[in-house]
């Protein structure tokens, strides 16, 4: 009986949500719903970056899949474009990876079957409600620190001109240089630096004698 009701709701949703604008609104609402529900246990989700991510990623994936669904050449072009894109920001944890994959899944599934997208969001949104139950069964979870970090280090992603390389080395202090990427055609140098504490990373930022193109501090 329950399965039949779910199937009926899915079929009903597929008949009501047909046009691209309707699907776009749907994935935006589902992305925000997922964000709100999971922020109950993962407070770090409530920030401007994740909110924008939840708004942008599902609808972007939806429109991309709609655009390439009937065009073989666009599909090949998208694969080629993704193969040469280099993402600078590392994934911090298994949960963050799953969250990104869920947002992508909502966008893809909505283009084919909006009812399944609703079902997926409902299931994922119920997961945070199960955590208090699991905490009672496994009391150790109450004291578990849900960290984003995998190593406890602080990362600094720095983009500047190649001419400023000597200044970066001079002001590194107690930090460690993990990786350096040089782009001589665009006169750009990308640094991935590691510090033991946030205070050390902030001291490095304040000690810079030049204005970098971009600089971000995050958990590694």
> Residue 87 has what pLDDT?
52
Domain for residue 149, yes or no? no
CA distance 47 to 16: 33
Contact between 193 and 175 (Cβ < 8 Å):
yes
Instruction: Please identify, among 92, 108, 143, the residue that sits at the C-terminal boundary of a domain.
Output: 143
In a domain, 130, yes or no: yes
Q: How far is CA 42 from the centre of its chain?
A: 14
The alpha carbon of 85 is separated from its chain's Cα centroid by a whole number of angstroms, namely 16
- How many folded domains does the chain comprise? 2
The answer to whether residue 64 sits within a structural domain is yes
Contact 9, 113 (CB under 8 A): no
Residue 191, domain extent: 154-219
Q: Give burial (CB, 10 Å; 0-12/13-18/19+) of 117.
A: buried
Question: In this predicted structure, what is the pLDDT of residue 149?
Answer: 42
pLDDT of residue 83: 54
Strands (E), the chain: 154-160, 176-183, 188-195, 214-219
Low-confidence residues of the chain, pLDDT below 50? 84-85, 144-151
pLDDT digits (tens, 9 = 90+) for 101-127: 788 888 878 877 788 888 888 888 887
Provide the pLDDT for residue 101: 79
Which tens digits make up the pLDDT trace of 27-53?
888 888 888 888 877 776 777 777 777
139 and 158 within one domain: no
The whole-number pLDDT of residue 1 equals 62
């Amino acid at each position: 009986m329950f399965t039949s009701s779910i199937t009926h709701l899915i079929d009903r949703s597929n008949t009501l949500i047909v046009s691209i604008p309707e699907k776009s609104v749907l994935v935006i609402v589902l992305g925000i719903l997922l964000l709100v529900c999971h922020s109950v246990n993962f407070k770090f989700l409530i920030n401007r970056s994740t909110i924008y991510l939840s708004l942008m990623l599902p609808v972007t994936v939806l429109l991309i899949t709609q655009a390439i669904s009937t065009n073989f050449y666009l599909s090949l072009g998208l694969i080629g474009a993704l193969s040469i894109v280099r993402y600078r920001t590392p994934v911090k944890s298994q949960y963050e990876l799953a969250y990104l994959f869920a947002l992508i899944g909502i966008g893809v599934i909505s283009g084919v079957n909006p009812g399944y997208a609703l079902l997926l969001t409902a299931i994922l949104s119920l997961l945070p409600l199960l955590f208090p139950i699991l905490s009672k069964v496994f009391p150790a979870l109450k004291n578990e620190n849900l960290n984003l970090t995998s190593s406890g280090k602080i990362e600094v992603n720095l983009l500047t001109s190649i001419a400023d390389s000597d200044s970066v080395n001079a002001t590194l202090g107690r930090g460690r240089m993990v990786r350096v990427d040089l782009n001589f055609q665009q006169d750009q140098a990308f640094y991935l630096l590691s510090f033991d504490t946030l205070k050390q990373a902030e001291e490095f930022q304040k000690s810079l004698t030049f204005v970098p193109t971009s600089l971000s501090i995050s958990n590694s």
